[in-house]
Amino acid sequence: MGQSNQLAHRMASKRINLVDASGNPVVGKEVQLKQTNHKFLFGSGIFNAIEVANKNVPPDRLAFLEEKLDKFLDIFNFATLPFYWGVFPGYWGGFEPERGKPRTQELKAAAQWLKDRNVTVKGHPLVWHTATAPWLLDMSNEEILKAQFARIEREVTDFKGLIDMWDVINEVVIMPIYDKYDNGITRIAKDLGRVGIVKEVFAKTRESNPGSTLLLNDFNTSINYEILLDGCLNAGIQIDAIGIQSHQHQGYWGREKLEEVLDRFSQFGLPIHFTENTLLSGHLMPPEIVDLNDYKVTDWPSTPEHEERQAKEVEEMYTILFNHPLVEAISSWEFSDDGAWINAPSGFIRKGNSLKPSYEVLQKLIKGDWYTNTTCETDENGMVSFEGFLGDYELICGDKKVSFTLDIDAETVRMVI
C-alpha cells in the first residue's frame, strides 16, 4: 500500500466502531483490513470469456484459456466483451453473424461468468460503421435507423443487470465521412449528422436501461472530438463517461501528449475512460499507416528488449492516469498476445500464457502500491481508524469477517462481528 498526496482523490478514511453480537465494544483486538477490489476499473478486452463460459472449444484449448482467464482475474476487475453487430474479419465472428441469430446466450454466459467473479463488464459497441450488419445495405435510411434501434433495445434489455455499461457509439468523428466501403451506419450518420446520430442512439440505449453508464468512444483525440463532445453536451445528451482510445501501435504517446490530452478532455468535468489502450512489446508499426487494420503481418514477435520498454511505458502511463482525478477506468485492448487484434504483441501475457514484465508491473501497482492491506488494534471503545484506496474490503478479526465498501463519503460506521 502506498500513500501520497497525488493519490488523495483515490483514497478515503474510515472510522469503524466494532461491537460484538451483544453490542459490546470489541476492545484491544487485532483487526486486519484487507482490500478485495478496486473502485477504479482496471481491465481489458477478454473475448475468450465466451469460450471459457460456454466450454465450446476442445479440452486442451479450454484448459489454456482457463489459465489465461485466471491470470486476468488475478489483476483485473473490468472486462470488455465484444458486441460487433456483424463479423469483424480476422478478429471476431460477430454478435449476429447470421441475421436473426444473435449470439445472446453465448454472450450472456460470458457476462455471467465474469460477473460471478466480481468483474464489471462493458459491452462494445452498440453502433459502429465497421463490422456492422451487412443487411443494412439493402434498407432505406429510415429502415436502417429502425433496425439499429431494435438491435440496441434487444441487446441492452437482454443484458440488463449483467452489462450496465456500454460503448454506445464508436468513432463518430469519422462516421459520416468513412469511405473505405459503403455501410448502413455511415449512411444514417450522413443523414442525421454526428450530434444527431449520437442523440438518437444514446436516447434509445438510455430508454432500454436507464441506470446504465453510457460512453461515447473515439480514437480521434484532436480538437474534433472536443467540439463533438461540446456539441453533444449542449444538445442535452447525457454522456456518463468520455471514452478515449489510445492504440499506440506506432509508439507510446509519452507523458507530454498524455497530459495534454487529459488536460483538454478534462474541460467537460466528466469521467474519462481509457477504453482501448495498446502498448506493444514488439517492433512498432510504421508511422505512415492510417487505419491500423491495414497493417498485415503474420509474425509480430514479442521480444525481451521490447517487453522491457512496454513495462516502462505501462508503468508511466497507468501512473499518470491513476493520478488524474477524472480518470475512472483503464482498459487495455488486449490481455494476451494470443488472438490479439492485427496479430500485435499487445498483451500483458505472451502467446503461451507466460507473464511479460508489464504484467508484473501492473500486478505490483494494482494489487500492491495502490491496494490497501493493513492491521491495527481496536481502542478501549472498540474504535479503529484507517485510510485506504477506494473499493471493497474485508475486516478480519479472529475468525470473524465483515465485508464493506470504502468510498469518498466514508463516515464512522458500526460493524457487528
- Judged by the rule CB under 8 A, the positions of this chain that interact with a second copy are 173, 177, 190, 193-196, 199, 223-224, 227-228, 230-236, 267-268
> To the nearest whole angstrom, how small is the minimum distance from the Cβ of residue 411 to a second copy?
34
> To the nearest whole angstrom, how small is the minimum distance from the Cβ of residue 264 to a second copy?
8
The nearer residue to a second copy, 177 or 297, going by C-beta atoms, is 177
Q: Determine phi and psi for 209, rounding to 5 degrees.
A: -155, 85
> To the nearest whole angstrom, how small is the minimum distance from the Cβ of residue 252 to a second copy?
25
Q: Which amino acid, one-letter code, is at 289?
A: I
Which of 84, 90, 166 shows the shortest CA–CA distance to 133?
84
> To the nearest whole angstrom, how small is the minimum distance from the Cβ of residue 181 to a second copy?
20
> To the nearest whole angstrom, how small is the minimum distance from the Cβ of residue 273 to a second copy?
21
One DSSP character per residue, 284-318 reads PPPTT-SSGGG---S-----HHHHHHHHHHHHHHH
> To the nearest whole angstrom, how small is the minimum distance from the Cβ of residue 133 to a second copy?
25
Cα 266 to Cα 220, 259, 408, distances in angstroms: 15, 10, 20
CB contact at 8 A, 38 and 327 = no
The nearer residue to a second copy, 218 or 307, going by C-beta atoms, is 218
Distance CA(197)–CA(199), nearest Å, equals 5
The nearer residue to a second copy, 256 or 399, going by C-beta atoms, is 256
Q: H helices then E strands: how many in the chain?
A: 10, 15
The nearer residue to a second copy, 105 or 238, going by C-beta atoms, is 238
The nearer residue to a second copy, 1 or 203, going by C-beta atoms, is 203
Burial of 181 (0-12, 13-18, 19+ CB in 10 A): exposed
Which cell is 346 given?
A: 499487445
Distance CA(195)–CA(216), nearest Å, equals 11
> To the nearest whole angstrom, how small is the minimum distance from the Cβ of residue 205 to a second copy?
18
Scored b (16 or more CB within 10 A) or e, 158-176 reads: bbeebbbbbbbbbbbbbbb
Q: Determine phi and psi for 49, rounding to 5 degrees.
A: -60, -25
Q: How far is CA 406 from the centre of its chain?
A: 21
Which cell is 122 given?
A: 462493458
The nearer residue to a second copy, 237 or 397, going by C-beta atoms, is 237
**Furthest C-alpha separation in the chain:** 76
The nearer residue to a second copy, 143 or 230, going by C-beta atoms, is 230
The nearer residue to a second copy, 150 or 177, going by C-beta atoms, is 177
